[in-house]
């Protein structure tokens, strides 16, 4: 048995790359925060011994509705553990499909007005596995992908060897149509896009995109992960709000944001869903979601569908925070969604503001740096929820205003009325 004597060059590569990342001010450190279920959005920050944990108000969670701490949802998971145990025991092909998997898939299909649904272990995997399976199903596929699509969509598209990718400018239907028109008319085509783009908070024109898909005979694939639960009469997303769900071929979503649980899914026609169930490797070869996760998700989806007041509460809080930011002269991008980006434009300053908010005010706001967003567009990303109080908002605005003045002096405001 031989032992390598020379240092492998990959170690040097890692060392150099990490040094450069630190020098650019975009090194990512994990913040040890434990959610307090009874006091959410208050978390406890773990400090070095012998210091005790301290309270932190978190403003960047994707548990938009706070369903992950709802007593009824938590109790559903606890009851499922007592009855079924903690794990799934294998893939759905090997260890069997729990009846709750099928019930949740039916519930999600109904939510989006589709014939069937299919669960995956994460939103990332549902995008990757589905797009890869579709784009390798027939020769000659052309995928038209919005320039700002999520990394999971890009991974699935790039992983489809033999297909062609055409990038269209973000939310630009004129550019999309020009590129559709230039493509071979007989080639199988797919348009992949999102409803709410989570870093900029803007929203796509779903009906306009679907109209182009019909004109050029393209399949439509819509990622609604940042919209499900929040938009539409029953929380079916922007496609439900805009009465466009029936026009979309495949709607993808997550259980890990507004529904407060874990996992991803797609909904579509019975034929497409059954095909993906039969060929998508990311579904076939992955241990299925465990019963307590499914039980929590199923309970949450049913509650969110029925209780529209939860959606109203989110947008009331978003409006209240925007009013305070505007009055304080703090720059923000007034998006049409629930996401409030505060532009900083410098990775080091963005990281420092986030760190100082935590250290000096007990407030956590995520810094968003490259490669999540392009260099020069670094920002803080704020997502107000129904449990953020007026007092929490006042504390955030006071601390953020002071730090923005100190770290970004002379920065012009970018808020809109």
Count Cα atoms within 13 angstroms, Cβ side, for 284. Answer: 10
Do 313 and 302 fall into the same domain? no
- Residue 11 inside a domain? The answer is no
> Residue 308 and residue 64: Cα distance in Å, rounded?
14
Do 298 and 320 fall into the same domain? no
Q: What is the pLDDT of residue 27?
A: 86
Give yes or no for a contact between 259 and 305, defined as CB atoms under 8 angstroms apart: no
- Residue 258 inside a domain? The answer is yes
Do 153 and 39 fall into the same domain? no
SS3 210: helix
Count of structural domains, the chain: 2
- Residue 267 inside a domain? The answer is yes
> Residue 119 and residue 106: Cα distance in Å, rounded?
10
Pair type for strands 54-58 and 250-254: unpaired
Residue 356 sits in a domain whose CATH number is: 3.90.1150.10
Q: How many CB atoms lie within 10 A of CB 323?
A: 12
Question: What backbone torsions phi and psi does residue 57 show, to the nearest 5 degrees?
Answer: -95, 120
Do 322 and 338 fall into the same domain? yes
> Which residues does 120 contact at the CB level (< 8 Å), separation at least 6?
126, 129, 130, 263, 264, 265, 266, 282, 283, 286
- Residue 8 inside a domain? The answer is no
Do 157 and 44 fall into the same domain? no
Q: What is the pLDDT of residue 29?
A: 83
Do 280 and 182 fall into the same domain? yes
> Which residues does 191 contact at the CB level (< 8 Å), separation at least 6?
143, 144, 176, 209, 212, 213, 218, 219, 220, 221
Do 291 and 365 fall into the same domain? no
Q: What's the token pair of residue 411?
A: 């920065």
Distance from CA of residue 222 to its chain's centroid?
A: 13
Q: How many CB atoms lie within 10 A of CB 12?
A: 10
Question: What backbone torsions phi and psi does residue 257 show, to the nearest 5 degrees?
Answer: -110, -100
Domain region containing 117: 71-306
- Residue 415 inside a domain? The answer is no
Do 96 and 236 fall into the same domain? yes
Count Cα atoms within 13 angstroms, Cβ side, for 6. Answer: 3
Last residue of a domain, one of 242, 274, 306: 306
So which residues are the catalytic ones?
257
Do 36 and 166 fall into the same domain? no
- Residue 356 inside a domain? The answer is yes
Do 255 and 354 fall into the same domain? no
171: alpha, beta or left? (left if phi > 0; alpha if psi -120 to 50): left
Last residue of a domain, one of 306, 340, 357: 306
Give yes or no for a contact between 173 and 146, defined as CB atoms under 8 angstroms apart: no
> What sign does the dihedral 374-324-307-85 (CA atoms) show?
positive
Residue 225 sits in a domain whose CATH number is: 3.40.640.10
pLDDT tens per residue, range 364-404: 999 998 888 899 999 999 999 999 999 999 999 999 999 99
| Nearest-10 Cα torsion for 338, 343, 345, 349 | -100
Q: How many CB atoms lie within 10 A of CB 282?
A: 22
pTM as predicted: 0.94
Do 295 and 336 fall into the same domain? no
Q: What is the pLDDT of residue 416?
A: 41
Do 92 and 38 fall into the same domain? no
- Residue 110 inside a domain? The answer is yes
Last residue of a domain, one of 306, 322, 342: 306
> Residue 27 and residue 3: Cα distance in Å, rounded?
33
**pLDDT, tens digit only, all 417 positions of the chain:** 566 678 899 999 999 999 999 998 788 888 899 999 999 999 999 988 899 999 999 999 999 999 999 999 999 999 999 999 999 999 999 988 999 999 999 999 999 999 999 999 999 999 999 999 999 999 999 999 999 999 999 999 999 999 999 999 999 999 999 999 999 999 999 999 999 999 999 999 999 999 999 999 999 999 999 999 999 999 999 999 999 999 999 999 999 999 999 999 999 999 999 999 999 999 999 999 999 999 999 999 999 999 999 999 999 999 999 999 999 999 999 999 999 999 999 999 999 999 999 999 999 999 998 888 899 999 999 999 999 999 999 999 999 999 999 998 866 444 443
> Residue 311 and residue 213: Cα distance in Å, rounded?
30
- Residue 17 inside a domain? The answer is no
């Amino acid at each position: 048995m031989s032992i390598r004597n020379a240092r492998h060059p990959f170690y040097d590569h890692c060392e150099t790359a990490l040094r450069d990342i630190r020098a650019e001010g975009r090194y990512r450190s994990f913040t040890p925060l434990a959610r307090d279920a009874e006091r959410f959005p208050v978390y406890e920050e773990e400090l070095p011994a012998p210091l005790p944990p301290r309270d932190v108000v978190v403003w960047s969670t994707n548990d938009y509705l706070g369903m992950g701490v709802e007593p009824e949802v938590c109790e559903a998971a606890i009851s499922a553990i007592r009855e079924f145990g903690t794990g799934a025991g294998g893939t759905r092909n090997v260890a069997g499909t729990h009846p709750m998997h099928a019930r949740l898939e039916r519930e999600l299909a109904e939510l989006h007005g589709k014939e069937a649904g299919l669960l995956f272990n994460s939103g990332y995997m549902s995008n990757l596995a589905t797009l890869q399976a579709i784009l390798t199903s027939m020769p000659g596929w052309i995928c038209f992908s919005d320039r700002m699509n999520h990394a999971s969509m890009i991974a699935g598209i790039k992983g489809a060897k033999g297909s062609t990718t055409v990038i269209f400018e973000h939310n630009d239907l004129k550019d999309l149509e020009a590129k559709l028109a230039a493509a071979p008319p007989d080639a199988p085509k797919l348009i992949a896009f999102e409803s709410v783009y989570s870093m900029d908070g803007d929203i796509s024109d779903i009906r306009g995109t679907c109209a182009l898909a019909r004109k050029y005979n393209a399949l439509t694939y819509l990622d609604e992960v940042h919209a499900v639960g929040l938009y539409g009469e029953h929380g079916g997303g922007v496609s439900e709000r805009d009465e466009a769900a029936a026009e979309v071929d495949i709607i993808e979503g997550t259980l890990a944001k507004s529904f407060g649980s874990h996992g991803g899914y797609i909904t579509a026609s019975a034929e497409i869903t059954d095909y993906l169930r039969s060929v998508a490797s990311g579904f076939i070869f992955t241990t299925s979601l465990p019963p307590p996760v499914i039980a929590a998700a199923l309970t949450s989806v049913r509650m969110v569908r029925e209780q529209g007041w939860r959606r109203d509460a989110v947008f009331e809080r978003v409006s209240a925070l925007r009013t305070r930011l505007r009055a304080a002269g703090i720059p923000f991008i007034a998006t049409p969604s629930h996401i409030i980006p505060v532009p900083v434009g410098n990775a080091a300053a963005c990281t420092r503001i986030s760190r100082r908010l935590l250290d000096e005010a007990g407030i956590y706001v995520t810094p968003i740096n490259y490669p999540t967003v392009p260099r020069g567009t670094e920002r803080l990303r704020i997502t107000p929820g129904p449990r953020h109080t007026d007092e929490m908002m006042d504390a955030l605005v006071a601390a953020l205003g002071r730090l923005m003045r100190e770290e970004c002096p002379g920065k012009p405001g970018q808020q809109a009325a």
